[in-house]
Chains A and B, each alone.
Chain A
Amino acid sequence: MGAARRLAGSSFLALALIAGTANAQTPVTLQYWVYSDFAQGEALKLQQEFIAEFEAAHPGVKISISGKGDDDLTTGQVTGAASGNLPDVFMNGLAAGAQLVEAGALDNIYSKWMAMPQDYRDQFDKSAIASCMPKPDTMYCLPYTGFGEILFRNLTVLQDAGIDTANPPKDWAEWLDQMKKVKAAGKFAMPDQTQVFNSVASTYATVGPDSDWGIDFATKKTLVKPESYAKALQLFVDMAPLTSGTSRNDQATKDLFITNQLAFHVVGPWVDPTYKQAATDSGLKYDFVLVPAAKEGDHGGVKSYEILSVAPGKNADIAWQFASYVAEKKQMLRWAKLLSRYNGNAAAMADPEVTSLPLVAKSVEAVKYALEVQPPYFVGAYPNCYKSIVTDNAAAVADGDMTPDEGAKDLIEQLNDCIASN
Chain B
Amino acid sequence: MIAKKHMPHYMMVLPFMLLFAVFFLYPIASGFFYSFHDWNATTTTRFVGLDNYTRIIGSRDFKKAMWNLATYIVITVPLGILVAFCLALLVDSFKGTWSNIFRSAFFMPVVLPAFLAATVWRWIYTPNFGLLNMVLGWFGLPSLNFLNDTGSMLYALIAVDVWVSAGFNMVIILAGLKNIPTDVYEAARLDGASPLQQVRYVTVPMLYPVLFFVTTYGVISALQVFDVPWLLTGSSFASYGGRSNALMFPVMDMMGRGFGSLKFGQASAYGFILTAIIVLFTAAMFVFRKKGYDQ
List the interface of chain A (C-beta within 8 A of B). 70-71, 74-75, 78-79, 81-82, 95, 99, 102-105, 188, 192, 195, 197, 244-247, 249-250, 252, 256, 261, 381-385, 387-388, 391-392, 395, 421-422
For residue A250, give the distance in angstroms from its CB to the closest CB of chain B: 8
Q: Given A246-B126, A387-B239, check contact A381 B41 (CB 8 Å).
A: no
By a CB distance below 8 angstroms, the chain B residues around A246 are: 126-128
Query: Are B243 and A197 in contact, with the CB atoms below 8 A?
Result: no
Residues of A within 8 A of B128 (CB): 188, 244-246
Query: Known pairs A81-B42, A195-B148, A247-B234. 12 more at Cβ < 8 A?
Result: A70-B236, A102-B262, A103-B40, A197-B239, A244-B127, A245-B126, A245-B143, A252-B130, A388-B240, A388-B241, A392-B244, A395-B243
Residues of B within 8 A of A421 (CB): 59
Listed stretches B16-24, B192-200, B253-261; interface member? B253-261
In the complex the two chains form, is A95's CB within 8 Å of B127's CB? no
Tell whether A388 pairs with B239 under 8 Å between CB atoms, given A78-B41, A103-B40: yes
Nearest chain A CB to B197's CB is how many angstroms away? 48
Question: Which residue of chain B has the shortest Cβ distance to A96 in the bound complex?
Answer: B238
Choose one: B40, B123, B234, B245; the contact of A249 (CB below 8 Å).
B234
Residues from chain B with a CB closer than 8 A to the CB of A103 are 40-42, 262
A142 to chain B, nearest CB (A): 22
Q: How far is the CB of A77 from chain B (nearest CB, A)?
A: 11
Chain B residues with CB under 8 Å of A395's CB are 148, 243
A71 interface neighbour in B126, B143, B148, B237, Cβ under 8 Å: B237
Of residues B59, B126, B145, B245, which shows the largest number of chain A Cβ atoms within 10 Å of its Cβ? B126
**B43 contacts which chain A residues (CB < 8 A)?**
104
> Does chain A have a CB within 8 A of B92?
no
- Asked whether A384 and B238 contact (CB < 8 A) given A103-B42, A395-B148, the answer is yes
In angstroms, Cα B255 to Cα A71, docked, is 11
Question: By the criterion CB–CB under 8 Å, are A75 and B259 in contact?
Answer: yes
Q: Decide yes or no whether B51 CB sits under 8 A from chain A.
A: no
Contact check, A79 vs B262: say whether CB atoms are below 8 A apart.
no
Distance between A37 CB and nearest chain B CB, rounded to angstroms? 16
State which of A79, A385, A391 has its C-beta within 8 Å of the C-beta of B243: A391
Q: Give min CB distance, B37 to chain A, whole Å.
A: 14
Residues of B within 8 A of A99 (CB): 262
Given A245-B127, A387-B239, CB of A82 within 8 Å of CB of B143: no
Chain B residue nearest in CB terms to A383: B261
Inside 8 A of A383's CB, which chain B residues have their CB?
261
Cβ of B127: which chain A residues have Cβ within 8 Å of it?
A: 244-246
- B101 shortest CB reach to chain A, Å: 32
Mark interface residues in B127-141 (1 if CB within 8 Å of A CB, else 0).
Answer: 111100000000000
